[in-house]
Amino acid sequence: MPNTMQMRSDPSGREGRFEDEVGEGWTAGVHPEDLESCLRVWTGSFASRAPFEMEYRLRRHDGVYRWIRDFGRPLDGPNGEFLGYIGACYHITDLRQMAEDLAHLASHDPLTGLANRHAFEDAAALANSAARRGFPATVLFADLDRFKQANDRFGHEYGDRVLKEIAAALRAAVRDIDLVARFGGDEFGILLRGQEPDAVAEVEGRLREAVEHTGRQHGLDISLSTGSAIMDGGRSASQVLAEADDRMYQAKRQRRER
Q: Which residues are catalytic?
A: 186
- Amino acid 185 reads G
Which contiguous run of DSSP H or E holds residue 182?
strand 179-184
Residue-wise DSSP of 89-126: EEE-HHHHHHHHHHHHHHHB-TTT-SB-HHHHHHHHHH
* Closest C-alpha to 70, from 51, 86, 84, 90: 90
Please work out, in degrees rounded to the nearest 5, the angle formed at the alpha carbon of residue 62 by the alpha carbons of 57 and 66: 20
Torsion angles phi and psi, residue 11, rounded to 5: -65, -15
Q: Can you say how many angstroms the Cα of residue 158 is from the centroid of all Cα atoms in its chain?
A: 28
**What does DSSP say about strands 82-91 and 137-145: parallel, antiparallel, or unpaired?**
unpaired
Q: Tell me which long-range contacts 47-56 makes (C-beta under 8 A, separation of at least 24).
A: 47/11, 47/12, 49/74, 49/82, 50/74, 55/92, 55/96, 56/30, 56/31
Cα 167 from Cα 252, distance rounded (Å)? 19
Nearest to 224 by CA among 250, 197, 251: 251
DSSP code of 30? B
